[in-house]
């Protein structure tokens, strides 16, 4: 039997979101675990051991393993849902892997996704419908605000948080947030990349619609910073987010504050557990 540790579960649309969150969390002092041997036994059930993965068992899907981050005995587990339509099913899949005692150590759930061209209310409602249709028994979801509420599942009340890019109020995507960081750290690259994408939109108007120009602009800058590497490598390791930006740049500060709220929720429990252990050891 493993000792359970307090943790939060974050579900994201894709690998870019995962790496953006890891970038900010490492700035805040979290450490990403690099080996399965470092993952607490109670959380190791979340490491994929089979292929194909998930209820759909799709052969054309990669097997994304969650990222595990730790600070002062508290843990964050960040999962890539592999698409906006799979947020609910990914959450359901991971929740079902947890035994009762491990689920009791789950301090909160967070959903991180794009608002895109929808209103925050419409996007949030769609995500809640996904969760209800994916989980059995069907959970009750009560949102007190666009950012926070609770999920009642198997008689357990779990705090539920949502962050919809760019700031839980406006339409946009992760790239909306990234490009503000680029404007601060790589203004020359942003200027020339924007010119290039504006040129490309004339030649390929059907390819560069809605949020695609922003995504393409991030891709151009990423390929200069990390030639030949995937965009998420640059997002994690380059200065799209910095210690200064998460204190001063709009959207960056919103995301940073949201993560601070999650970290506080898990960290408070972790500190209490540590105190209980000290008392227990002194009694022995």
More confident call, 76 vs 205 = 76
Q: What is the pLDDT of residues 215-232, one digit of tens each?
A: 999 999 999 999 999 999
Average model confidence (pLDDT) across the chain: 91
| CA distance linking residue 188 with residue 127, whole number of Å | 38
Would you state the pLDDT for residue 51?
75
Q: 135, 88 in Cβ contact below 8 A?
A: yes
Q: 266, 7 in Cβ contact below 8 A?
A: yes
Q: What is the pLDDT of residues 157-181, one digit of tens each?
A: 999 999 999 999 999 999 999 999 9
Q: What is the pLDDT of residues 7-62, one digit of tens each?
A: 999 999 999 999 999 999 999 999 999 999 999 999 999 998 877 766 667 777 66
Q: 35, 47 in Cβ contact below 8 A?
A: no
Q: What is the pLDDT of residues 63-96, one digit of tens each?
A: 678 999 999 999 999 999 999 999 999 999 999 9
Would you state the pLDDT for residue 273?
46
Taking residues 120-139, what's their average pLDDT? Answer: 96
44 alpha carbon, distance to own chain's centre: 19
| CA distance linking residue 124 with residue 142, whole number of Å | 12
| CA distance linking residue 44 with residue 59, whole number of Å | 24
Would you state the pLDDT for residue 268?
61
């Amino acid at each position: 039997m493993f000792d359970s540790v307090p943790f939060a579960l974050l579900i994201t649309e894709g690998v870019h979101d995962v790496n953006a969150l890891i970038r900010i969390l490492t700035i805040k002092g979290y450490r990403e675990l690099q080996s399965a041997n470092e993952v607490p036994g109670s959380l190791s059930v979340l490491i994929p051991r089979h292929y194909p993965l998930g209820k759909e068992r799709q052969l054309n899907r990669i097997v994304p393993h969650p990222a595990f981050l730790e600070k002062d005995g508290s843990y964050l587990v960040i999962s890539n849902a592999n698409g906006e339509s799979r947020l609910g099913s990914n959450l359901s899949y991971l929740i079902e892997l947890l035994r009762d005692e491990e689920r009791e150590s789950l301090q909160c759930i967070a959903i991180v996704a794009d608002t895109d061209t929808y209103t925050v209310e419409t996007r949030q409602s769609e995500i809640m419908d996904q969760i209800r249709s994916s989980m059995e028994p069907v959970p009750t979801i009560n949102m007190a605000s666009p950012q926070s509420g609770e999920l009642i599942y198997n008689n357990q009340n779990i705090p539920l948080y949502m962050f919809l890019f760019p700031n839980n109020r406006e339409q946009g995507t992760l790239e909306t947030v990234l490009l503000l960081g680029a404007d601060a750290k790589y203004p020359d690259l942003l200027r020339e990349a924007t010119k290039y994408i504006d040129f490309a939109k004339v030649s390929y108007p059907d390819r560069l619609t809605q949020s695609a120009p922003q995504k393409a602009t991030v891709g151009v800058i990423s390929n200069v910073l990390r030639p030949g590497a995937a965009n998420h490598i640059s997002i994690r390791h380059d200065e799209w987010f910095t210690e200064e930006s998460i204190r001063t740049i709009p959207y960056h500060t919103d995301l940073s504050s949201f993560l601070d709220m999650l970290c506080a929720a898990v960290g408070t429990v972790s500190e209490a557990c540590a105190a209980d252990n000290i008392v227990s050891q002194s009694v022995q």
